[in-house]
Amino acid sequence: MKAKIVIPWTEIEWTATRSSGAGGQHVNRTNSAVQIRYSISGSSLTDIQKSKLLKRLQSRLVQGDEILIRIEDQRDQKSNKDRAYRLLCEMVAQALVDPKKRIATKPKKSAIRNRLKDKKHHGEIKKNRSEKF
């Protein structure tokens, strides 16, 4: 089950930049791409949550403890900003969820019996190969 995380906008630093790629005049005039930075150390999370994020999102961090997300998929800034915020919230929520512990199970008796029967049968086949006729 995913935990729902809401990050206050006051903890996020965002900037609008020009998008790259094709688009003609429109892309050269508007700042529709959005880049957001979220500092883990400056967030309102608990110390335990901060250490989990630093450990689990290590490959996504820039400048030690900041998560950087850049979105330029949509043509308008608001859509890109909303998408970047959702992506950040999902990323943080997923990193805070502890993985389920695996419970070791014993094989069923019928499975053990079938495996031993197959081994015995395979051994008999090999034994019969070496016999002279």
Which pLDDT tens digit goes with each residue over 91-121? 999 888 888 999 989 999 999 999 999 999 9
Sheet with 33-39, edge to edge strand ranges: 12-17, 33-39, 66-71, 61-62
Domains of the chain and any CATH numbers: 9-96 (3.30.160.20)
pTM higher than 0.75: no
Rounded CA-CA distance 55/69 in Å is: 18
Residue pair 40/58 in contact by the 8 Å Cβ criterion? no
Which pLDDT tens digit goes with each residue over 50-100? 888 888 888 888 888 889 999 988 888 899 999 999 999 999 998 888 889
Q: To 10 degrees, what angle do helices 77-96 and 47-56 make?
A: 100
